[in-house]
Structures are given as structure tokens and as C-alpha cells.
Structure 1
Amino acid sequence: MGVSLKDIAERAGVSLATVSNVVNGYRPVGERTRQRVQAAIDELGYTPNLSARHLRRGRTGLIALAIPELTNPYFAELAEVAIHEAGRLGYTLVMENTAADHEAESKLLNGSQRHVIDGLILSPVRVGREEVLARAADTPLVLIGEGVHDVPHDHIAIDNVAASRLAIRHLVESGRRRIAFVGAGRGDDRHSAHLRVRGYREALAEAGLAYRAELVAVTARFGRRDGVHAMRQLLALDEPPDAVLGYNDLIAIGALRAAVDAGRGVPEDVAVVGIDDIEEGRFSTPTLTTIAPAKEEIARLAVRRLVARIEGAEVTGPLTVQTPFRLIARESTTGAPGRAGT
């Protein structure tokens, strides 16, 4: 037989209601009483039945994280933190891969899993503000990334314009003058790629450098191959770039590979910067300079806000948070060898 709340109450010498308040966090309990209850829990080895708890509250105990690309290391690293945080809060996190498809995002947004999940964390790419405002589902929603703004839901992201500006300033300060951007998007000005191009243009203007359309490479997707193909085209120009900012680390790693294959020294002939600080960039040759967003903070805050909404906690909102970021200078711009994993 498992240990029950009644067993804990008897051991601690308190009421069953007091034990329930400590275990479930319904109401505040005095510190001395809470310590007595916790001591009884530890002594008896009590483990809460989370499934039963969620069922009593009319919930499933499942929350979903919907991302546009499951194979992208940035989202994989973010998901790992989110899974751990959800488990710590008594929930199971399930993954949804939307493949940046409008229909897939719309179905999730409008409750295709409303009887399965208690809440949704969505990284939107294709759905717009009007669709979020008109969503049919009433399950709690937290947005991450930059696809949608000015909606009555918690929204957590970095300032992409400022992040891009920081990268370009670093390149300018290292003496670069023909700076390219690889990974511009097509059509949708809500996408973070457009925001990063905007930051790129602002930083060029700030440095007194002319914007050159031939140095902005549009890509169909945002992977390594896209970076390779775009970089080959840039290197074939009569005046090729002496530096490149990739939309993300994957594109930057592809660009780095293409430069090396073409016999260009990195960073002697062309410097390369990415955005995301994925682990792969710490072990590339040369190691990749990058803009590092606070991925762990994004994931933890998204899960915490969603769970608070699900459980009806008194939280302010909706909350819009721009999480911090920093530049990590490595060999692809400095030429100085660094320690692996830094």
C-alpha cells in the first residue's frame, strides 16, 4: 500500500486539510507546520499521484510545446529545458513539430488537442495577429519567438533588431566593411529574419556604411545547406564580403564551411557570426562567434507562465518579456583559439 495523506497527517500531528494545503499549495501554511509536514513526507517516502491530482481538477497534466523545426538544435536545446521545468512543476510536456506550416499552426492554435492538453506554448511562424485574436480554443496560450505581437497572451522573445545590431557592431569594430547578411526571409515581415535584417541595416547606417542589396542573401530555409549555397553566391561576387552575419548559427556554420571550401581564411579573409549559441558552434572549426539568447530563461519562463495560467494563479498579464542576450566572441571573428565548450 502506498503512503496516503492521512498517514502523513497522523505522523505530523496535523489535520488532513493542512497536509493537503502543503502538498498541493492551496493555501499558505505556517513555516513550522510546513516543516513538520515535510519531515513526515520525507520520513514516510510519500510520492504524490500526479495523474490522480490532475484528474480531480479536470486536467490531463499535459502541456504542449509547438516549434517550427524539431531538428533545429536551438529548439532542441530549448525543449530540453522546458521538459525539465514542466516535470518539476508536475506536468508532462509533449512536442509538436509544425514545420512552419500555416495549417498546422492554425489547428494547434484553435484547439485541435483541446481535450488532450491543458495549455500550449507556441513558436508561431505563419499565423498572424488576427488569427491569434480570433482563436477558438480557450486553453491557456504562451507565445515564444517573434511571429506575433500585441495580443492578449504572454509573449517571451529576444529583441532581434538589437541582437543583430550588436553582431554588426562587433564586425565593424574588427575592421570589416563589406558585411553580408545570409538568411533573409521572403514576404512575411513578422518573421524574425526580417527583424534581424532591420538591425543589420540600422547598424550599417550607424557605422556610416552603405547598404548593398547584393550582400543580403535570401534563403528558402534556415539550415546549413542554405548557408553553404548562399555563401558560394556571395563569394562569387566581384567584390565579395569580408564578413557575414547568419540569420542563425546553422546558416552561419554552412557559410563558414563554404568559405573554407573556397580557400578563404576565417576570419582572415571573411569573418562569420551567427545567432543562437547552439552547442555545435562551440566545436566547429573555427569555433563560431555568436549572439547567445537566454534559452534557459525563455523556456523556464514560458512553462512557468503557462502552468500559472492553467492553475488559476494570481499572475499579472498578459506579460511581454524580452529576455537578455550577449555576444560570445570566438575564433570565427577573433582568430584566437578558445577552449572547447566556452
Structure 2
Amino acid sequence: MSERAYDAPVDWVAMASREGVRALVGHMASLGYTRISALGADHSDLPERSAAHLRLVGYRDGMRDAGLPYLPELVVDVHPQWSRQLGAAGIRRLIEARTPFDAVVALADALALGALHAVREAGLRIPLRSPSPDSTTPTKPANSPIRRSPTSPRARRRSRGRPWLCSTTV
């Protein structure tokens, strides 16, 4: 089992890194997001068949398929590994640079958790959306800053004027 692509005459099982990210970007674009950030790129000397490379190619494919431009300022390099700390640092760089983005595709779970921490730290909020249209139970990590977007007057009052980073999270 692997996350790398091999050209070998043997059987192997691999994660659909490229196709999975491509589908995720397409889904986010179908919800109306146009400035989707990719968190976890690595432009170092990693082989072209590494998970980081394959997922970044999937991001580019998804953006192209959705008719959205590939904007290098939305691609956040994280090197040398995927960790919560580096995910938080990557999102902090986007926020501090005031780079406008309305969605984030984290290329690994640890990066996503770090990004959520950085968003909380910045005083921004992320609303909750179920991971798929047929899912009836929304999911969120424990102690996350994910909240439903304030649609009712009561919910808007509870948000205490804190800005929302985006209108949906997947």
C-alpha cells in the first residue's frame, strides 16, 4: 500500500491522491468558491510521484476543470513535512499577507487541524457543512472553531461581530 505512483510490473494499492483532491476542488467550486487555497504543497526536490506532488497536480486539475485560474499566491508550501504546526504557519502566512481566499484544501489531515487552530487564533470563524450532500450528520473535530454560519438574528448576535473566514467548510 502506498501514496506514491509506481511504474513497476507488480500489483500495488495506492490512495487516489490526485483524483481525490481534484474531486474536492470541483465540489468546492460547485458550491461557489473561486479563491481556493492549497495548503501543503512542497516544491522541494521530492519525486514527481510523491503524495504532495500528486495532490498538487489534483488541485491544479480541479481548478482547471472548474474554469478557475491557478494562482500561485494561493498555493502554500509546507516543507519538510506535513504537521499541525506547519499547517497553522501556512494559514497564518495567508492571513498576515491579506491574501484573499474563500476556501482551503489541506493536502493532509494534520495540516487541516493546524489551519483550524490558526483561524481560531486570528479570530476568524468557519461555518460547518456536512462533507457530502447525502450526509445527514455534520462532522467537526473536538474543540474546533467550526460553527454554523449565522443565518438567524439570534445566531448573528452569538457570533459577537467576529468576522467569518468563509461561508462553508467541507
| Range class of TM-score, shorter chain | 0.7 to 0.9
- The answer to whether the aligner puts 1:240 opposite 2:100 as a matched pair is yes
- The answer to whether the aligner puts 1:264 opposite 2:124 as a matched pair is yes
CA contact (8 A) 1:183 1:227 kept: yes
Paired residue secondary structure (1:182): strand
Q: How far, CA to CA, are the matches of 1:242 and 1:148 in structure 2?
A: 31
TM-score normalized with structure 2 length: 0.72
Shift of 1:261: 1.1
Query: For structure 1, which segment, 259-268 or 192-201, has the greater mean C-alpha deviation from structure 2 after superposition?
Result: 259-268
Q: How far, CA to CA, are the matches of 1:177 and 1:237 in structure 2?
A: 18
Q: How far, CA to CA, are the matches of 1:198 and 1:167 in structure 2?
A: 13
1:278-318, Cα deviation, whole Å (9 max, x unpaired): xx96435256xxxxxxxxxxxxxxxxxxxxxxxxxxxxxxx
Q: How far, CA to CA, are the matches of 1:332 and 1:177 in structure 2?
A: 13
1:60-107, Cα deviation, whole Å (9 max, x unpaired): xxxxxxxxxxxxxxxxxxxxxxxxxxxxxxxxxxxxxxxxxxxxxxxx
CA contact (8 A) 1:168 1:200 kept: yes
Shift of 1:235: 1.1
Q: How far, CA to CA, are the matches of 2:97 and 2:7 in structure 1?
A: 41
Q: Which has the higher contact order (CA 8 A, sep 6+)?
A: 2
Taking the TM superposition and a 5 Å limit, the aligned residue runs for 1:1-342 are: 144-185=1-42, 186-188=44-46, 189-220=48-79, 221-267=81-127, 282-283=141-142, 285-286=144-145, 333=169
CA contact (8 A) 1:253 1:281 kept: no
Larger radius of gyration: 1
TM-score normalized with structure 1 length: 0.37
Paired residue secondary structure (1:201): helix
The match for 1:60 is: none
Q: How far, CA to CA, are the matches of 1:179 and 1:284 in structure 2?
A: 24
Q: How far, CA to CA, are the matches of 1:151 and 1:172 in structure 2?
A: 35
Paired residue secondary structure (2:24): helix
Instruction: Return 5+ residue gaps in structure 1 as ranges.
Output: 1-143, 274-279, 288-330, 335-342
More helix by share: 1
Shift of 1:195: 0.7
Letter in 1 for 2:100: P
Shift of 1:150: 1.6
CA contact (8 A) 2:91 2:115 kept: yes
1:233-285, Cα deviation, whole Å (9 max, x unpaired): 011233321111111111011111111211111138xx9x9xxxxxx964352
1:111-161, Cα deviation, whole Å (9 max, x unpaired): xxxxxxxxxxxxxxxxxxxxxxxxxxxxxxxxx223340213331012211
CA contact (8 A) 2:73 2:99 kept: no
Aligned length: 139
Q: How far, CA to CA, are the matches of 1:228 and 1:160 in structure 2?
A: 22
Letter in 1 for 2:52: A
CA contact (8 A) 1:286 1:332 kept: no
Q: How far, CA to CA, are the matches of 1:198 and 1:255 in structure 2?
A: 21
**Shift in alpha-carbon separation, 1:281–1:156, aligned structure 2, 3 A:** farther
Q: How far, CA to CA, are the matches of 2:113 and 2:26 in structure 1?
A: 20
